[in-house]
Structures are given as C-alpha cells and as structure tokens.
Amino acid sequence: MSESIEKQAEVPADMDNERLDQVAAKLFPDYSRSRLQAWIKKGELLVDGKQVRPRDKVRVGDLLTVAARVEQAVSWQPQDIELEIIYEDEHILVLDKPPGLVVHPAAGHADGTLVNALLAHAPEMGQLPRGGIVHRLDMDTSGIMVAAKSLPAHYDLVEQLQARTVKREYCAVCIGVMTGGGTVDEPMGRHPRQRKKMSVLAAGGKPAITHYRIRKRFGHHTCITVNLETGRTHQIRVHMAHKHYPLVGDPLYGGRPRIPKGASDELVAALRSFPRQALHAQGLGLIHPDTGEEMQFDCPLPDDLLGLLDVLEREDPVVSNDSALY
C-alpha cells in the first residue's frame, strides 16, 4: 500500500545558503533524511521546479516542492529464521536463499518467509517498501539475492534493475541435448487460461530476454549458464520450456519427469526424486548504491544440484564438454 504526498515550503532567511538536504529535513520534519535524499535523487523533491543534488545550496525564497508516493511500512512480523549472508553493510545485504524459502508473505504463505527472517535480522528494514526486497527468486529456486537496508539504497537498486544494469547469472539443468547457446527474446505475461502460470505471448506481453550458453552436454540433458536481461516472473523456466528444453524437476512447465530409455536405476531415482526446478542463481553484479563501486558476488551450487550433476556425469553418458562443469 502507498499514499501520494504533495507538499511545498519556501526557504526562510535563516536557512539561506544551506544544503538542500539539510533544509528539506527542517522544512519537512515528518520524513527522515534518507527518505528526503531519495526523493531529491529521484526528482520528486524539486527546487523552483528543477532537480538539483542533495548537497547543492538553496537561497532564501526558493520554493521546495514534493510530489511523491510513500510506501507504508510493512506489518509482517520478525521470525528467527537462519540466513546465509554473503555480504552486508548499512546499505545492502546479499544472501544465499535456500530452495523452499518463499521471499515474502502472500496467499498460502503468511509467515516463515525471507522477509520475516530479514525483519528479525535487521528490524529497520521493516520501514522500507516490501521489507527491503527489490527482486525475487521463486520459492524453489536457490541462490543469490540482494536486499536494501536503507531507503536511498532501495530506490537506487530498483533503478538499476529497471535500467537492466544488474547482472544476474544462473545455472540450470535442462531436459534434452542442446546444439548451442543462444538468446530467447519472447514477450511474456500471465497465461490466458491457467492463471498460476506465465507464458510467451504473441501480443500483450512484456519484453523478456534470456541469454544462455552451454556449460556441459550429457546424453539426454544439458547444463547451461543463463544471463537475464529482464526479470519477468518464471522467465528462465518459461523461456526454456518454450525452446522445448524445460528444466529438470519443474512440474509447472516441464510436466512429469522424463526418463531416458535404458536409464540406470540410479538415474531414474535421481530424476524422479529431484525436489524442485534445477535452477540456481549463481552470480550477481551491481553498483553499490552509496559508494558507486562495481561489486560482483558469487554463490556456489547447492548440494542437491551438485548431486544431480554428479549422477548425470556418471549415468547419462557425456557427449561433449564445453567448459568446466562447476
């Protein structure tokens, strides 16, 4: 939920030649300095109708105007859920999400989510939109995520995602043997009949671009590296299924497990028992929202995916190796 804010104030004589962010904090005391700085950077707090920097000086008589939307603080409760934190400072938190953990409360998952865990770890995140969450991973997708710990960081990370400058790399195991890498540039949207699914849409979908390259071929499967240019819901799963290479373990887009003819008992058991879609967010690159530093984070493959690849290595004869598997 959010509400629209429209306010204005004139710079008085005793604040002449002070920094904009300092003056704004005095003229709009109901809002934190970090929120005001974020509005200034986004162009939602203007000086005489113009966007300036937080450190720029204002003069007596200048008119400060605010036209912004304020996200209400979340009402979710903190819960003591273990987090595997890769990096943390006062602005961002990077973590390795395990499979099976829902990112934020929704229908059917009122608690026990990543947001509940984050609120217990850093209670200040409860004052941020969506508890600091700026992007998602599906419940059964594992791997690296970043969350914001301050309002300016939240705005900045959202802008980076919208500008498609955040680099996201995944490891996936697909059914079928690919002949080469490529790009899927197919718009996506909600499935017209099955509302729990997303699909490629010839008309009315949002742009969705997925780049993939072969990591290793097996006899009946392919391990690929995937880079996202956009971040639509279920994008990798939908695009790979659209190319007729659905992910191993994906009941929504891959159907029942596909058992190769003549498969060993070990391979049959591995394919039938794999508990989720074989998808892991392995790499994340971004610009630090405060320092401007380019940052790259990597997250090792989880045990279940390593186990699946080990069985494929031994029981699904390799056709060719394109690069190191791990």
Residues designated catalytic: 138
Contact 95, 129 (CB under 8 A): no
Contacts of 236 (CB under 8 A, 6+ apart): 170, 172, 210, 226, 228, 247, 279
The pair phi, psi for residue 192, each rounded to 5°, is -65, -25
Q: Yes or no: say if 286 and 164 are a contact pair by the CB < 8 Å rule.
A: no
Handedness of CA 315, 321, 322, 326 (dihedral sign): positive
141 contacts 277 by C-beta, under 8 angstroms: yes
- Secondary structure in 3-state letters for 204-259: CCECCEEEEEEEEECCCEEEEEEEECCCCCCHHHHHHHHCCCCECCCCCCCCCCCC
Residue with tokens 């004052």: 127
3-state secondary structure at position 129: helix
Residue 62 in contact with residue 10, Cβ under 8 Å? yes
